[in-house]
Each structure stands twice: as structure tokens, then as C-alpha cells.
Structure 1
């Protein structure tokens, strides 16, 4: 496995697993605790999630405040543009983002540590996404941030996404400032 830390954001890592291919298909390890620990991702996962979305869907940007989640994200079918945003007040990279294409064909994954918001949009006709989480889902502490917040200036590869009602009504990052985690505190 290769662990690419050239994301510009502390703790955000693109993982490129080794894929073994032959006439039958392929095999790869998507999680190996010791290899990930050696690669600088020393976490315990407590929950796995799986979503299926039609082309043009955008999910996010989401984060949990009271119980922040680290996430290891991958596309198992189709392709997505995956985004992490640093929302830790006082961080040297506050408000900056990293995006990467994750697909069933490239097998890449992105690890997003606690203290970051996460979102993705579907590039293919349909995509299935799986991600491991370091904390349980806590709807009471979840926030949504406006996907097209001009302050963040994320380069999404679509202009008019399909959004949930919650994501369509999400406030900008500045409106959430007092609620955001502080850099270096509370697991963020």
C-alpha cells in the first residue's frame, strides 16, 4: 500500500492499495490495521456505512461536532469526487479543502480524520460508496455546511447537483463558526 500525504491537509491521506489481478479478476486489502498504522493512520473503526447514489448526487458537506468521526472512504462501484474540508478553528489550514477521484477502477481510498467535513458527488451514472468510521453516527451532533459556500470555493465537477433537503438548506461555514471544533481540542 502507498500512503500519499501530499493532500495539503494534516492527517488527510490518499491510500493506494496494491491490487492483484489475474484472469479471474482481482484481490486487494482495503483495511489492514498494521499496514495502516505503519502508514500513519492509527485508528479503530467502529462502524461501516454503505451508500448508493445516482449520477449528479452530492452528499455533504457533513461533520459531527460532539463525536467527530474519522472516515476511510472508497467507491466500490462507479466514480465519485470526494472532498475533505478542514473546519478546525485555529488550524493553519482552516477552510481549505482536498478533493480526489475515487472509483471502482482506481481502488483509491481517502482517510479523513476527525475535525474535517466530508462530502462527495457522483461522477458516474451511479455509485456505491463504503466508508469506515472511527465514531458512531450521532445525528444530534451532525452539521451540514453549504456545498457551494463561496468562502470554501470547492471545485466541484458539477453545477446543479441533486441534494437532500438538509444539504440544500445548509448554512455557510461562517454561520457555523461558533460551533466548530477548535484545533487541537476534543479529538480534532
Structure 2
């Protein structure tokens, strides 16, 4: 596992060791000691499957740390700092396949778009799910996220998220 810092403090891009074999490949997606070294004590592992490309979820900032990696397919991840700090509103994007993971600290917004059909995405978290979250508009021009798929599918709830400017106003 090779860890690389990003421009958003605390967000880490992780290169995973994927070992090809005659049947496909093998990767160690979870190793308690290695994740503890990043400051994460996993309490829940979630898996989401998406049949089509262009499915978008987010931008959500939850009160838990996340470790995310696809086990099949590819995703485009857009990470937005929604913490009250000097990097509030900073965006960084990544395309992830099974050989990569992201570590996203609590209160940093995360979203993703499936780039390929039949994508399976794993989420490890260090707190059990709760409805508490901060969200921002997926298509806010201030964020300038260029989604990689033309036809997108997203929830009505995500479509109704406030702009970054509105979130800033609410916090002032």
C-alpha cells in the first residue's frame, strides 16, 4: 500500500497492490493494522453495486472517516472540503479502479460517478451510519466538477442539495 497526500488536508490517495493470477487478480482491500496506521478503526463495511455507467451519488460529508475502493469497474470521485477551514470549497477529483483507494476524513464531502457498468464499490467507515450529513449541489458552477459521463442518473435528494455559496451563508 502506497499512500499519497492530496491538496485537501487529510484526504489520501492509496495505491493498492493488485496481484494478477491465472483467474484474474487478488488485492488486500482491508488490513486492520495498515488502516489503523491511517487513524481509522473500521466498524462497518458497505458494498454498493451499480449496473450502469453514469450513476452519481453525493456530494455528502458525513460524521465519519471513509476508506473507499472499487472491487470491479471504475468510478470518478469528486472530493470537496466542506470543513470550516482555509481549504473550504477546494475540489479534487480522481478516477479509481480496483488498484486504488481513497481515505476521506469526516466532514469532507465525497461523491462518485460510475464510469463503467457493473461497478462494485466498497466503503469502510469508522462510525455506524446515521442520517446526519452536510451536502452540496453536484452541479454547482463554483465547484466546477466536470463529470466524465454525459447521461447521469442521480437521486432527487442529491439534486436538491444547496450550493456552496448557500452553505457558506448558512454557516456565517
Q: TM-score, normalised by structure 1?
A: 0.82
Partner of 1:138: 130
CA distance in 2, matches of 1:135, 1:37: 14
Shift of 1:31: 2.0
* SS of residue matched to 1:177: helix
Q: How many residues align?
A: 171
Partner of 2:69: 74
CA distance in 2, matches of 1:35, 1:2: 11
Check the 8 A contact 2:42/2:127 in 1, yes or no. yes
Cα 1:179–1:72 change in 2 (3 A) is farther
Runs of at least 5 residues in structure 2 that lack an aligned partner in the other structure: none
* SS of residue matched to 2:157: helix
- Match for 2:91 among 78, 91, 97? 97
Q: Decide which moves more: 27-36 or 111-120.
A: 27-36
Check the 8 A contact 1:86/1:93 in 2, yes or no. yes
Shift of 1:9: 1.0
1:73-108: per-residue Cα shift (whole Å, max 9, x none)? 11112111012110011x22110111111123xx20
Shift of 1:34: 2.5
Runs of at least 5 residues in structure 1 that lack an aligned partner in the other structure: 181-188
CA distance in 1, matches of 2:97, 2:136: 24
* SS of residue matched to 1:48: strand
Cα 1:15–1:176 change in 2 (3 A) is same
Aligned CA RMSD, in angstroms, stands at 1.9
CA distance in 2, matches of 1:149, 1:46: 33
Shift of 1:178: 5.8
Partner of 1:184: none
Shift of 1:36: 3.5
Tell me if 1:52 matches 2:52: no
5 Å-filtered alignment, 1:127-166, equals 127-139=119-131, 141-166=132-157
* SS of residue matched to 1:167: helix
